[in-house]
């Protein structure tokens, strides 16, 4: 008998039929003798629908009330799934985030888990119940919080760590983690396994298949994590420390995200504290900046460019304009409708030619590169949004990601 945490995402519980299907999968696992804790998301696109209801009322909803609203989505699913199980004769109980002991910080909309009081879940398990927990939500004092969009993955992995489960299985609408998003690139190939670090990088760089904080938890607490389909019976992808297959592949996957905007602040004084003043002003106003480039164009002046998400442009411009006198820049220039495309792989660290190859592929396909950023295991470029999918496809071909690599070949690499 093993203790297992399973998680089913929005599409997988998107209708009554699908909820019944999930219930029958749970029934099967239970019949194998496992102790089961199951985390679920809100049905289908219901979280998006709740967000748009709020925007029909206000453009500036209070974060507390947004959490109050969005947390209702998961509560619908836990009760319906539990009823479906009970109808099948499976003993089950549903718990909201606070009933499950999911303690978080106060920061509404993006709360971090601080502690999980597992007493209630343990008690329900020992009574023989399958425990169905609402994903994405927690509690701070007596306030309901949410963990950020896509956060049910994090609920599941954090519970697996706290309950010392033998594994955490994330069931979703794709059959595993692919070399890139299979919805955009037909030739994307499912990976047998991927390391925590590579997966974390992919998730942070836009691969929406897993919430980045879920991967962080899995890595820190060594939770064996699997991503698989809730609909098709097929082996999924293991996310784990030691990747035995495909080890040291230079590029393992490609992540991408749109809604990137590049802002350039021109004619700043060329002084030691210019960067610190500029980015302090932005961070004090909670503007998140990604890639930064500094250009000196004469002895006295520099231009500084940085990328942000599209949705924060208005706020960014307001912060800069307010600080113009202090920062002493000439003007601001910005480019919208950009995207970030990133190649990720742990073998990159020992392979200096990868970035060069990436740039060459993009140049050959007339894709203009606006910004570049690198780390030991990734190279990211900012390009026009219109070039995004083409760039991903070209890079996927150039790095031969569609091809299965045999273990023998890797050893020879």
**Residue 212 touches which of ligand ADP, ligand ASP, Mg ion, none (CB < 5 to 8 A by kind)?**
none
Q: Is position 151 an interface residue for ligand ASP (rule: CB under 6 A)?
A: yes
For the sheet containing 331-344, what is the strand order? 292-296, 301-309, 253-269, 331-344, 378-384, 371-375
Question: 3-class SS at 86?
Answer: helix
Residue 264: burial class (beta carbons within 10 Å; 0-12, 13-18, 19+): middle
Smaller CB distance to ligand ASP: residue 10 or 345?
Answer: 10
* Dihedral, CA of residue 25, residue 31, residue 33 and residue 36, to nearest 10: 30
Phi, psi values for residue 217, rounded to 5°: -60, -45
Select from 378, 382, 371, 384 the least CA-distant residue to 355.
Answer: 378
Piece in contact with ligand ASP (CB under 6 A), picked from 149-157, 338-346, 369-377, 394-402: 149-157
What does the alpha-carbon distance between residue 355 and residue 361 come to, in Å, rounded to a whole number?
Answer: 10
Q: Which of 36, 42, 185, 223 binds ligand ASP (CB under 6 A)?
A: 42
**Residue 183 touches which of ligand ADP, Mg ion, ligand ASP, none (CB < 5 to 8 A by kind)?**
ligand ADP
Q: Is position 10 an interface residue for ligand ASP (rule: CB under 6 A)?
A: yes
260 — alpha (psi -120 to 50), left (phi > 0) or beta? beta
CA of 114: how far to CAs of 75, 81, 106, 140, 147, in Å? 22, 27, 10, 9, 11
CB of 74 to ligand ADP, least distance (A): 12
Residue 87: burial class (beta carbons within 10 Å; 0-12, 13-18, 19+): exposed
Smaller CB distance to Mg ion: residue 44 or 150?
Answer: 150
Q: Are 404 and 255 in contact (CB under 8 A)?
A: no
**Residue 178 touches which of ligand ASP, ligand ADP, Mg ion, none (CB < 5 to 8 A by kind)?**
ligand ADP
Smaller CB distance to ligand ADP: residue 164 or 183?
Answer: 183
What residues line the site for ligand ADP (CB under 6 A)?
A: 9-12, 41, 150, 172-174, 177-178, 180-183, 207-209, 253
Piece in contact with ligand ASP (CB under 6 A), picked from 144-152, 202-210, 250-258, 360-368: 144-152
CB of 32 to ligand ADP, least distance (A): 23
Smaller CB distance to ligand ASP: residue 135 or 345?
Answer: 135
Binders of ligand ASP among residues 101 to 140 (CB under 6 A) are 135-136
Q: Give the binding site for ligand ASP (CB under 6 A).
A: 9-10, 41-42, 47, 73, 135-136, 149-152
């Amino acid at each position: 008998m093993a203790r297992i945490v399973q998680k089913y995402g929005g599409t997988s519980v998107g209708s009554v039929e699908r909820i019944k299907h999930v219930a029958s999968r749970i029934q099967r696992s239970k019949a194998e003798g496992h102790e089961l804790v199951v985390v679920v998301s809100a049905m289908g696109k219901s979280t998006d629908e709740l967000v748009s209801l709020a925007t029909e009322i206000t453009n500036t909803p209070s974060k507390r009330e947004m959490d109050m609203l969005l947390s209702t989505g998961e509560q619908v699913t836990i009760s319906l799934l539990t009823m479906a199980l009970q109808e099948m004769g499976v003993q089950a109980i549903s718990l909201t985030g606070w009933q499950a002991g999911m303690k978080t910080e106060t920061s509404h909309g993006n709360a971090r888990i601080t502690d999980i009081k597992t007493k209630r879940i343990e008690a329900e398990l020992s009574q023989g119940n399958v425990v169905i927990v609402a994903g994405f939500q927690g509690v701070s004092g007596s306030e309901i919080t949410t963990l950020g969009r896509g956060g049910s993955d994090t609920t599941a992995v954090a519970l697996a760590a706290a309950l010392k489960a033998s594994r955490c299985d994330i069931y979703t609408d794709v059959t595993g983690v692919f070399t890139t998003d299979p919805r955009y690139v037909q030739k994307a190939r499912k990976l047998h396994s991927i390391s925590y670090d590579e997966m974390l990088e992919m998730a942070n760089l836009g691969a929406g298949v897993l919430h980045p904080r879920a991967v962080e938890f899995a890595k820190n607490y060594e939770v064996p994590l699997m991503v698989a389909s809730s609909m098709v019976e097929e082996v999924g992808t293991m996310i784990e420390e030691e990747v035995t297959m495909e080890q040291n592949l230079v590029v393992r996957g490609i992540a991408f995200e749109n809604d990137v905007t590049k802002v350039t602040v021109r004619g700043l004084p060329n002084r030691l504290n210019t960067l610190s003043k500029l980015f302090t002003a932005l961070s004090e106003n909670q503007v998140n900046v990604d890639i930064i480039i500094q250009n000196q164009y004469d002895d006295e002046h520099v231009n500084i460019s940085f990328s942000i998400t599209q949705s924060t442009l208005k706020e960014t411009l307001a912060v800069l304009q307010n600080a113009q006198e202090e920062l002493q820049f000439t003007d601001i220039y910005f480019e919208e409708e950009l995207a970030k495309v990133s190649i990720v792989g742990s073998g990159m660290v020992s392979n200096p030619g990868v970035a060069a190859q990436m740039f060459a592929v993009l140049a050959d396909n007339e894709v203009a590169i606006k910004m570049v950023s690198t780390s030991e295991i990734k190279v990211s470029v900012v390009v026009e949004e219109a070039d995004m999918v083409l760039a991903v496809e070209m890079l996927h071909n150039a790095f031969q990601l569609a091809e299965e690599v045999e273990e023998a070949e890797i050893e020879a690499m």
